Structure 1
Amino acid sequence: MNSRRDFLQKLAASAMALPLLPLQNLAGSAEYANFYNTPYDGPVLRVAIMGLGSYGTRVAKAMQDCKRARLTGVISGTPSKIKAWQARYNIPEKNCYNYENFDQVKDNPDIDAIYVITPNGLHHDQVIRVAKAGKHAICEKPMAVNAKEGQEMVDACNQAGVKLLVGYRMHFEPKTLEVIRMRKAGEFGKILFFQGQCGFTIGDPTQWRLNRELAGGGALMDIGIYAINGARYMTGEEPVWITAQETKTNPEKFKEGVDETIQFQMGFPSGAVASCLSTYNMSHLDRFFLNGEKGFAEMQPSTGYGPIKGRTHKGELTQPHITHQTLQMDEMAGIILDGKQPVVDVSGEEGVRDLKIIDAIYEACRTGDKQQLS
């Protein structure tokens, strides 16, 4: 297994072979049902994808089912990929750019937003260039390699008057939103504990995810961010302290600055605690567990491409699977075009919050000290 993408794609394989259930069956999602089952002729967000790798391909395919977002451009350093995408998605030559000339997109009215799906270490400069070109930016997570760079990206987009959104697809996933609804409604009672386990055995040692300069770290940046973000949206709180321990069994494969396995703990203002695991050296880890005084929620798989599976003290979660990236892009179109407020934030500020926690986890591993967060 070469990457998190491969891992999540394997989890999704069985789901992709199944027909989607009617959207009307979604608990509490009459808005989705009405939207996807009625004709739409309103404004559409015109999107260029930057980075035409496996995940960019997945997003492009999912966007074919979107009603409010449309793929209208591409940015890549590989001419052969551009040609293939032009043919597959009917993209005109004038909407195709490379990494050297994509600043010219500022003069292209066919593109409203650029979705940056490149290695983590490139996000900072690329998003700032997108902002300077006057286009909205959607950035894959983690949005940067540290909180300082993330804040600079937020500031650049604010200064340019464009939106910066982060590709938190789970923030729109129906089963996830049902657990959040139950928590907000008090159905779990006082939240006591969260556990997040995220990991797989990574393959090719030469890939960019094991290159510190491009990845910004190791498993924590790639897969552990799901547990960090999940702890926050499942508990509904921001952590106030962090402890962490790193384990490395293969220093040849996992060089200095590239983490193999990190266990980390977080404490929240209410007294709730989280215990999480992020690893590139163990497979079959994709589980969230939330415990409260009145009940619980368990999701496994919790963050794969789908279908997400889960249960609570009230029974199985039955919301049907909808392609995550389709929902994400339609919802992001609503945010950009209409100022719609999502249930869970997907702004650049949200991305910075996760990066501050990542910074603190790495510092806790380095020093062995508990890190206090303001």
Structure 2
Amino acid sequence: MTENRRQSRRGFLSGITAAAVAGGLPGELRSQTRNPARRPQRVAVIGVGHYHATLAPFYLKILQDEKVDIVGVHDPDRAVAEDRARRCGSTPFTDYRAMIDSTKPEFVLSLNRHVDMPGPFRFLVDAGIPFLAEKPWGVDDRTVNELADYAEKKKAWATAPMSFRYSWWAQTAKKMVESGELGTISHILVRFNQPGIQRYIDEGNSWMLTKAQAGGGALLNLGFHGFDLCRYITGEDPKVISAVTSHSIWKREVEDYAFVTLLTPGGIVFLNEASYTFPANGSDSERKIAAEKALVRATPAGDGVQIIGSGRNETLMAPPGFVGSWAGVVKDCLDRIGRGEPPPASVRDCAAAVSLTFDAYRAAGETS
């Protein structure tokens, strides 16, 4: 690496960290440079039978790593509530209202089956407790938009885990787009192909495979993140131009594959691909921007960004201590509450991603 390249990289890292401190990027970088004030210590979890509690991203483990007190865990199935309570040293509840009243948490993580998400959401808004609610908040876009309206009206501290924002690629791409460094952007691609459906069945979450209880399949569950990244990186509200879904592998009522083409008002084409078709453990993922002056893509491991342009081919690695993905979301929420700051993503951000998902379903001929 030449001296000029080293200087360029140092300047880039300095600039992106400064932007994070100023509020331009998610909070995992800000939290490295500002000491958090009073963070929530008492945390409760609603709907802990959701697979995310004990499978990737392992929410219970994330909370334990944050050294908070998990004062209560809820699930309507007593056996599930008791099992999850044993795993994290907490107290089980089958009534989330009773749990909130009894444990008086300072922060709540709300999971649940998708069809059951609206009730706890409204309850937490009314209770005035800051909360992180797993997406999509419901099984149709009308319900989710109504929830966003309600939270905004009540000025609730409420957010969804927009975990793909918490990657070095997303943060680097956003800064480069905003600075104009890339010139005209042709297209952006986000591919998120995951293993099949057996993991949901094994974890007692077969409800994920029915439209009545889940709302949709791979596009709502995984492609949601691509829709959010489009808005986050471009700063624009795109429209669905075309969409196709497939049920060919698992032959369930929810799709196992989807491909959606979006177009922003500024002319950026965004390609969003999601599936349950990866044939083994692991993932087939890709994230890149193709622009006039550079191609910017995530490294295979996701911990770096490759930038290719005229006379330029360099890889920028995430700085030491970078906290990404779902762990970054949880940490950012706790830190922001401690500093008296608003959520990292608005309720309207979640509603917008869900609305795009159902626009795509309608374009593809799916019924919700």
Q: Is TM (by shorter chain) over 0.5?
A: yes
Whether 2:350 is the aligned partner of 1:351: answer yes
Within 2, Cα distance between the matches of 1:233 and 1:331? Answer: 17
What is the match of residue 177 of structure 1?
A: 171
State the one-letter code of the partner of 2:332. Answer: E
What is the match of residue 255 of structure 1?
A: 252
What is the match of residue 267 of structure 1?
A: 263
Whether 2:346 is the aligned partner of 1:333: answer no
CA contact (8 A) 1:201 1:281 kept: yes
CA contact (8 A) 1:194 1:235 kept: no
For these two proteins, the number of residue pairs brought into alignment is 329
Go from structure 1 to structure 2 and tell me whether the alpha carbon gap of 1:318 and 1:25 turns closer, same or farther (over 3 Å shift): farther
Residues 97-136 of structure 1 aligned to structure 2 (within 5 Å): 97-98=93-94, 101-105=95-99, 107-108=101-102, 110-136=104-130
Map Cα deviations across residues 158-188 of structure 1 (whole Å, 9 max, x no partner): 4544222001122233442122122212221
Task: Report deviation, 1:238.
Answer: 1.4
Within 1, Cα distance between the matches of 2:265 and 2:141? Answer: 22
CA contact (8 A) 1:121 1:145 kept: yes
State the one-letter code of the partner of 2:306. Answer: R
Partner of 1:280, secondary structure, is strand
Residues 63-212 of structure 1 aligned to structure 2 (within 5 Å): 63-66=63-66, 70-91=69-90, 93=91, 96-98=92-94, 101-105=95-99, 107-108=101-102, 110-204=104-198, 207-212=206-211
After superposition, the CA RMSD in angstroms is 3.2
CA contact (8 A) 2:42 2:70 kept: yes
Within 2, Cα distance between the matches of 1:85 and 1:143? Answer: 22
What is the match of residue 220 of structure 2?
A: 221
Partner of 1:189, secondary structure, is coil
CA contact (8 A) 1:199 1:286 kept: yes
Whether 2:323 is the aligned partner of 1:322: answer yes
What is the match of residue 241 of structure 2?
A: 242
Whether 2:53 is the aligned partner of 1:56: answer yes
Partner of 1:142, secondary structure, is coil
What is the match of residue 3 of structure 1?
A: none
CA contact (8 A) 1:245 1:262 kept: yes
Go from structure 1 to structure 2 and tell me whether the alpha carbon gap of 1:41 and 1:334 turns closer, same or farther (over 3 Å shift): closer
Partner of 1:288, secondary structure, is strand
What is the match of residue 17 of structure 2?
A: 28
What is the match of residue 365 of structure 2?
A: 366
TM-score, reference length from structure 2:
0.77
Go from structure 1 to structure 2 and tell me whether the alpha carbon gap of 1:340 and 1:133 turns closer, same or farther (over 3 Å shift): closer
Go from structure 1 to structure 2 and tell me whether the alpha carbon gap of 1:160 and 1:232 turns closer, same or farther (over 3 Å shift): closer
State the one-letter code of the partner of 1:310. Answer: V
Map Cα deviations across residues 197-217 of structure 1 (whole Å, 9 max, x no partner): 121341338522211122111
State the one-letter code of the partner of 1:56. Answer: A
Within 2, Cα distance between the matches of 1:226 and 1:122? Answer: 21
What is the match of residue 307 of structure 2?
A: 312
Within 1, Cα distance between the matches of 2:129 and 2:186? Answer: 42
Partner of 2:171, secondary structure, is helix
Map Cα deviations across residues 345-364 of structure 1 (whole Å, 9 max, x no partner): 51211001011111110111
Map Cα deviations across residues 252-302 of structure 1 (whole Å, 9 max, x no partner): x4334x11222211111111112222222345421111111111211255x
What is the match of residue 286 of structure 1?
A: 285
TM-score, reference length from structure 1:
0.76
Map Cα deviations across residues 15-64 of structure 1 (whole Å, 9 max, x no partner): xxxxxxxxx99961786678559986634253211233442231221223
CA contact (8 A) 1:44 1:70 kept: no
CA contact (8 A) 2:71 2:103 kept: no
Go from structure 1 to structure 2 and tell me whether the alpha carbon gap of 1:37 and 1:65 turns closer, same or farther (over 3 Å shift): farther
Within 2, Cα distance between the matches of 1:238 and 1:272? Answer: 11
CA contact (8 A) 1:45 1:337 kept: no
What is the match of residue 5 of structure 1?
A: none
Structure 2: runs of 5 or more not aligned: 1-12, 22-27
Within 1, Cα distance between the matches of 2:138 and 2:331? Answer: 24
Task: Report deviation, 1:148.
Answer: 0.9
More displaced stretch, 173-182 vs 82-91? 82-91
State the one-letter code of the partner of 1:255. Answer: R
What is the match of residue 19 of structure 1?
A: none
Go from structure 1 to structure 2 and tell me whether the alpha carbon gap of 1:237 and 1:34 turns closer, same or farther (over 3 Å shift): closer
Structure 1: runs of 5 or more not aligned: 1-23, 368-374
What is the match of residue 9 of structure 2?
A: none
CA contact (8 A) 2:38 2:339 kept: no
Partner of 2:156, secondary structure, is coil
Go from structure 1 to structure 2 and tell me whether the alpha carbon gap of 1:223 and 1:83 turns closer, same or farther (over 3 Å shift): same
